[in-house]
Amino acid sequence: LSDARWAARYEACSSLSQNWTELLKALNSFVENPIENSKTKCESTGLIKKMSSLEMRILVSFWNDILERFNSTSKKLQTIEIDLTIYKVVRKKKRKVPYDESCQGDTSFEARESFKINTYFVIIDSLLSELRKRKSCYDDCSDFFQTLLIYQ
């Protein structure tokens, strides 16, 4: 295993996350500098626009957390002291089946599907519910002020 891949990805994402405002300031200085050529100004403007989006900020934060875990796991797997020939066999979890049910419908998931169901979908569901709550509050405020505007 090469530590350059995960380490480089994590360091790049971590640096971007930690130095967000400084990077925006540096890009703005390129845009405002009259000596810079137009290609550099145009690329800087595009990067500023991309970095100003909420989606970009959320994704950087999300990937920073994930890559941090991958990087630490990768480093632990590459240590000299680790012995990969010794491993622990994990027992499959079995659900207790009541006497009136059959266990025929039980499903077993691979690690990828398990991650998708137990982690990714949970994150997406919580984000959706928070956004719906926020939208509901904004709708209530909008309705309240809309009635005030009618009486003007």
Q: How many CB atoms lie within 10 A of CB 10?
A: 21
1 and 74 inside one domain: yes
121 and 69 inside one domain: no
Q: Could you give the CA distance from residue 43 to residue 26 in angstroms, rounded to a whole number?
A: 13
67 and 140 inside one domain: no
Count structural domains, the chain. 2
pLDDT tens string for the chain (152 positions)? 344 577 888 899 999 999 999 999 999 999 999 999 999 999 999 999 999 988 888 888 888 888 888 888 778 777 777 665 555 555 566 667 676 666 565 556 677 777 778 778 888 888 888 888 888 887 887 787 777 777 66
Strands (DSSP E) along the chain, which ranges? none
Instruction: Evaluate whether residue 104 is within a structural domain.
Output: no
Q: Which of 82, 99, 120 is the last residue of a domain?
A: 82
The whole-number pLDDT of residue 2 equals 44
Q: Could you give the CA distance from residue 41 to residue 27 in angstroms, rounded to a whole number?
A: 8
1 and 69 inside one domain: yes
8 and 73 inside one domain: yes
Instruction: Evaluate whether residue 93 is within a structural domain.
Output: no
24 and 75 inside one domain: yes
Instruction: Evaluate whether residue 12 is within a structural domain.
Output: yes
Instruction: Evaluate whether residue 103 is within a structural domain.
Output: no
Instruction: Evaluate whether residue 18 is within a structural domain.
Output: yes
Residue among 71, 78, 106 at smallest CA distance from 92: 106
Q: What residues make up the domain containing 124?
A: 110-152
Q: Are 66 and 6 in contact (CB under 8 A)?
A: no
